[in-house]
Amino acid sequence: MDVFSDVIASMRVGRAKFTRSRRSGAWGSRFGPYPGAGFHVVLRGSCWLLPLDGPARPLGAGDVVFLPHGTMHGMSDSPDRVARALPPEPQPERADDFPGGMDDEPAPGDTLLLCGAYRLDRGQAHPFLRALPKVVHFPARPGRHPVLRTAVDLLTTELTAPRQGAEVTLPALLDLLLVYLLRAWLDEESPREPGSGWPAALADPAVATALNHLHREPARPWTVQELSNAAGMSRTAFAKRFASFVGQSPMAYLTWWRLSTAARILRTSDSPLAAVAQQVGYTSEFAFSNAFKRTFGIAPGRYRREHRATATPLP
């Protein structure tokens, strides 16, 4: 996979959780904190996003809000509320329940919301995700992020007029929404920070080439010289450029990526530890176990047992 796909695959645990609800009159709910990335889509009407710090943000039909760090926040009909003082959002019995009596036609002034979260493994959050702000807001402006708008339109259609196959289409559309949200943020941030950070790293031919090599072949015994040759730069210039964009040296990033890949394998397969070690470039199970414990704080076997038990949608 490419780097961007790996970022998403490495962090996801289970299916996205979401609820669809109708709000009318005076209302407000508190969301989070939770071990994942939250999102809200205003399907119809308008409301306010209430972050813990900073001013309230008006939201209209078609607006999308992404909260990549799962921080506490509120949603309300009025900006004159305090997120912490709002009642918590009721939790449905299932991850895809549709509370709120959505079958009949909404009245004028009603607000329809899609609210949800992607469960993430915070122990191995990719540096790309850590670089995201607390709140990412994409207003529904004509011509802005048309692919994201298409995904929102498809979700709106599936939720307001559900048909056969919704149990398949909705999870797929929620996965697409996450991809398009991250792409949209990259598109906006690249011009703002042209010479630093992950948007620049993924856009830079030399650094992106090296990252793709590391992601495609994490088990290969890479050296900085080999990576600089692949990137078409001198060793010194490449190492400096990589570190300035990524925030780590090439070898430190390789170690981190190997262990993150191992964590994903442990969560999703029954491969013996020796085989997992070999897949990510360690010559012995002992060396792999020590490195894994230094990074994640627990041995790989225990990590597998604990994360198998929690690899379900958000509680």
Q: Which residues of the chain are in CATH 2.60.120.280 domains? A: 3-191
Q: Which residues of the chain are in CATH 1.10.10.60 domains? A: 204-310
Average pLDDT, the chain: 86
Q: Which CATH number fits domain 3-191: 2.60.40.10, 2.60.120.280, 3.40.1260.10, 2.40.10.410?
A: 2.60.120.280
What is the fold of 204-310?
Arc Repressor Mutant, subunit A (1.10.10)
Q: Name the more confident of 71 and 5.
A: 71
Supply the DSSP string of the chain, one letter for each residue.
--HHHHHHHHHB-S--EEEEEEE-SS-EEEE---SEEEEEEEEESEEEEEESSS--EEEETT-EEEETT---EEEES-SS--GGGSPBPPPPSSTT---S--SSPPPTT-EEEEEEEEEB-GGG--HHHHTS-S-EEE---TTSSHHHHHHHHHHHHHHHS--TTHHHHHHHHHHHHHHHHHHHHHHHHHHHSTTSHHHHHHH-HHHHHHHHHHHH-TTS---HHHHHHHHTS-HHHHHHHHHHHHSS-HHHHHHHHHHHHHHHHHHH----HHHHHHHTT-S-HHHHHHHHHHHHSS-HHHHHHHHHHH-SS--
Q: Name the more confident of 35 and 206.
A: 206
What's the pLDDT at 209?
Answer: 95
- pTM metric for this prediction: 0.80
Per-residue pLDDT tens digits for 249-291: 999 999 999 998 998 899 889 999 999 999 999 999 999 999 9
